[in-house]
Amino acid sequence: MVIDDNNEDSSSKIAAGIINPVTGRRYAYTWMIDDVMPFAIQCYEEIESELGIKLAYSKSIIDFFPSPQMLNAFADRLMENDTYLHSYPDQNHFNQYFNYDFGCGEIKPAYTVHLQLLLSSWKKKLNELHSVSEQKFNVNELKIDKDFISYQNIAAQKIIFCEGTDGVNNPWFQPLPYAPNKGEALIIECNELTSEHVFKKGLMLAPLPDENIYWVGSNYQWEFENDQPSQQFYQHATSVLNGWLKKPYKVLAHKAAVRPATLERRPFVGFHPQFQNVGILNGMGTKGTSLAPFFAHQLVQHLVYSFPIVPQADVHRFTRILSR
């Protein structure tokens, strides 16, 4: 039974759903990417055939270097390891669409996943199975016994909290080192752009499944007053676009959400050390699209077969602070 309050501005619904195997200014490979990316893609493909919809798109990332230093960093990293980084021989290929002075490289394989469609379609399926209840979960109504839990008229062996950034207020897991991070995005319409790739130059510009519609973002704010779209981001993003994109575009929407990030940039997966029927799957940070399928599966394997969870993600690494 899934209980969800259908927040239209949850992190997953605002995200671009990009799976990028490299990260940061040094093009380091994303944590566990060799394991989590193929697992995630297989999982999305299985959901695609189950639901009869298209969710995951293979889209390499064209990285326009913002400076000669970044061009050099890319070249150095490519010499070390070329699993995900590739030179792009036709350097002028994107001149018709973009201004770029220092060339570009290609990151692949990389993917975009249509998370909004995934969530709405899966919810429809759960609805047909009478397995979803749309409401705000109220922790005060949850009763935890030794071998079962109960909530309103639901009785179950376990409960697993997947609350995203609202997890910071969960009474059982509150002491975990969350570091919520606000991000914003624009949805734009641009009729003369190719949707073959994701493009990156400071911001990411990613095609959405609807024709001529693109996602543009994001920023990373550790300190913020609220979770609403800000004028500051709007001005920044449109000024970047005006200097970068050569084609006319129209802003259709401006969105914001808070990512459930964590101080050590690793997820929280497993069961509470003292309340063994209370679990968590959270802390996906900036990488939910690739991490969530892998760690949801690990949690299920742990639940059913007692298989171990990757230690860096296992919530038992916080046994001391959770037992206070």
Ligand X SMILES: Cc1cc2nc3c(=O)[nH]c(=O)nc-3n(C[C@H](O)[C@H](O)[C@H](O)COP(=O)(O)OP(=O)(O)OC[C@H]3O[C@@H](n4cnc5c(N)ncnc54)[C@H](O)[C@@H]3O)c2cc1C
Q: Which residues bind to ligand X, rule: CB under 6 A? A: 3-5, 7, 10-12, 14-18, 136-137, 162-166, 183-185, 217-218, 257, 259-260, 282, 284-290
Q: Measured from the CB of residue 302, what is the shortest distance to ligand X in angstroms?
A: 18
Q: Measured from the CB of residue 63, what is the shortest distance to ligand X in angstroms?
A: 15
CB 165 within 8 A of CB 11: yes
* Cα distance from N-terminal residue to C-terminal residue, the chain: 30
Q: Which residues of 281-299 are buried (b: 16+ CB within 10 A; e: fewer)?
A: bbbbbbbbbbbbbbbeebb
CB-closest chain residue to ligand X: 164
Q: Report the residue number, 144 or 162, with the smaller CB distance to ligand X.
A: 162
HSE, CB side, 13 Å, CA atoms: give it for residue 75: 10
Q: Measured from the CB of residue 23, what is the shortest distance to ligand X in angstroms?
A: 11
Q: Is residue 116 within a helix (H) or strand (E), and if so which, with residue range?
A: helix 115-128
| Dist. CA 271–CA 276, nearest whole Å | 6
Eight-state DSSP code of residue 266: -
Q: Measured from the CB of residue 122, what is the shortest distance to ligand X in angstroms?
A: 12
Q: Report the residue number, 93 or 252, with the smaller CB distance to ligand X.
A: 252
> Hey, CA dihedral for 239, 59, 285, 257, is it positive or negative?
positive
Q: Report the residue number, 122 or 137, with the smaller CB distance to ligand X.
A: 137
Q: Measured from the CB of residue 230, what is the shortest distance to ligand X in angstroms?
A: 12
